[in-house]
Amino acid sequence: MTLKISISGVRGIVGQTLTDDVVTDFARAFASYLKRGTVVIGRDSRASGQHISSIFIDTLRSLGISVIDIGLAPTPTVQLMVKHLKADGGVILTASHNPVEWNGIKFVRSDGIFLNEDQAGKLIHIYDTKAFKDTAGDRGSIRKIDNSYDVHINRILDVIDAGSIKKRNFKVVLDSCNGAGSIITVQLLERLGCSVIGLYTDPNKPFPHNPEPIPSNLKDLCGRVVKERADLGLAQDADADRLAIVTEAGIAPGEEYTMAIAVQNVLSKAKAGKKFVVTNLSTSMMSDDIARRFDAKVLRTKIGEVNVAERMKKEKGLIGGEGNGGVMYPQVGYNRDSLAGIGLLLDSMAGSGKKISELISELPKYEIVKKKMDCASSNEVSDMLDKIKKAYKGTKMDITDGIKLIYPEAWVHVRASNTEPVIRVIAEAKSLKEAEALTSRILDL
């Protein structure tokens, strides 16, 4: 297993591919990339985080960069604090939804958005060529701050109808996978008048399951929601940028529904005029159908949060994100944010007076199938894409990112993952059988 270095940052297995030397050199590279200034740093709850954080902070300071350490914090909280504190950049130590033996580094620029492809390319070039700035000059300062959760929560409360939500006194079971969302999310829900049952909300305990918030990992949550007769179950990944929903009936409908509900909420309140939803090529068609209801348009980008964020900022998108449960709401920030997603979801429930299962049943109905296949090299990927291109000659195609084959009421998207050594094959259609058939045909090739 090699170290994964990409537009989404760096991920590796701690001590094997993500060694202390790798962490030190990436800190040197980021200091050299920024040249000077202040960096906000936060981390998820992995046991290795504390150690990696101290190496990173010490290295940045030795190169004259000042550091504001916000400690255990969701990725979206760090992104928001970079902007709030007018810092020059940010660093999040997390391997997101990867298992516990992994850790990683995400790099944020001064506007709270991740480095884009060009910027990440520059940083990686500095890392590869070891073209680090020299150590001469004053050591950077260090400051710890402890109000970042409040800043984030207040921002969300300002842009939703918190009063209506409070009146409902929702009962919510929360599975933060004992990750970075554990404490702040309980605080957000309590400030929204919810009674919170923290299923896995202790960041000092290990991950109770794989942190990816997909239905197969949410069995405990589903059971607990039913047992507690709760209104809702919520699940986050380890750095709390992704959010999944469990209905009051204990059903996990899949992470695609999170963004769809947020899109429905924001578009239903939007003023007349140009209305854009921005999302990536692999996200459900539900958004297109919802957008049509409100005379809005969906803009699609390459995979990678920064691609969606930059397009959203440029086109003044109202809402969007990624179908993996990554809601992006510009009024809070140009980044995936499970807490903003929770705010919009509760706002929809309070505003409509409907149960979460009812809100879901009103959404367009599609079946999405997500498969992945191990791949050894990038040559293997391009061979496969060539094969598909030939086999599907004449079919409508989008080749912005891998290949997306587009049919009137279905699509299949094949591409190399940014974060894992796998090829992803995602298909959506009106029936599960049809979606399965679309992926099978590709995998057979």
Is 212 an interacting residue with respect to Mg ion (CB under 5 A)?
A: no
Is 239 an interacting residue with respect to Mg ion (CB under 5 A)?
A: yes
Q: For Mg ion, which is the closer residue by CB, 237 or 420?
A: 237
Is 217 an interacting residue with respect to Mg ion (CB under 5 A)?
A: no
Around Cβ 206, how many Cβ atoms within 10 Å? 12
Quote the least distance from Cβ 223 to Mg ion, whole Å. Answer: 24
Task: Find all residues with CB under 8 Å of 92, minimum gap 6, and list them.
Answer: 9, 41, 42, 43, 44, 73, 75, 78, 79, 105, 106, 108, 239
Is 248 an interacting residue with respect to Mg ion (CB under 5 A)?
A: no
Q: Which among 189, 197, 192, 196 is positioned nearest to 167, based on CA atoms?
A: 192
Quote the least distance from Cβ 67 to Mg ion, whole Å. Answer: 23
**Which of the residues 45, 66, 96, 182 is marked catalytic?**
96
Q: For Mg ion, which is the closer residue by CB, 96 or 282?
A: 96
User: Is 96 annotated in the active site?
Assistant: yes
Q: For Mg ion, which is the closer residue by CB, 88 or 239?
A: 239
CA angle in degrees (0–180, nearest 5) for 180-184-187: 155
Of 131-139, 230-238, 314-322, 398-406, the window that binds Mg ion (rule: CB under 5 A) is 230-238
Quote the least distance from Cβ 214 to Mg ion, whole Å. Answer: 12
- The residue whose Cβ lies closest to Mg ion is 96
Q: What is the rounded CA–CA span in Å between residue 390 and residue 153?
A: 51
Is 241 an interacting residue with respect to Mg ion (CB under 5 A)?
A: yes
Tokens representing 280 are 């990536």
Q: For Mg ion, which is the closer residue by CB, 53 or 94?
A: 94
Q: For Mg ion, which is the closer residue by CB, 95 or 312?
A: 95
Quote the least distance from Cβ 174 to Mg ion, whole Å. Answer: 16
Task: Find all residues with CB under 8 Å of 4, minimum gap 6, and list them.
Answer: 10, 11, 12, 104, 419, 420, 421
Q: Which of 237, 255, 337, 428 binds Mg ion (CB under 5 A)?
A: 237
Quote the least distance from Cβ 54 to Mg ion, whole Å. Answer: 23
Quote the least distance from Cβ 206 to Mg ion, whole Å. Answer: 18
SS3 state of residue 240: coil
CA angle in degrees (0–180, nearest 5) for 186-187-192: 95
Spell out where 264-325 has E strands. 276-280, 297-301, 319-322
- What binding mask, one character per residue, do residues 94-123 give for Mg ion by CB under 5 A, x or -? --x---------------------------
Around Cβ 207, how many Cβ atoms within 10 Å? 17
Is 255 an interacting residue with respect to Mg ion (CB under 5 A)?
A: no
Sheet holding 89-93, edge to edge: 4-6, 9-13, 102-109, 89-93, 38-43, 66-72, 142-144
Which residues are annotated as catalytic? 96
Binding site for Mg ion (CB under 5 A): 96, 237, 239, 241
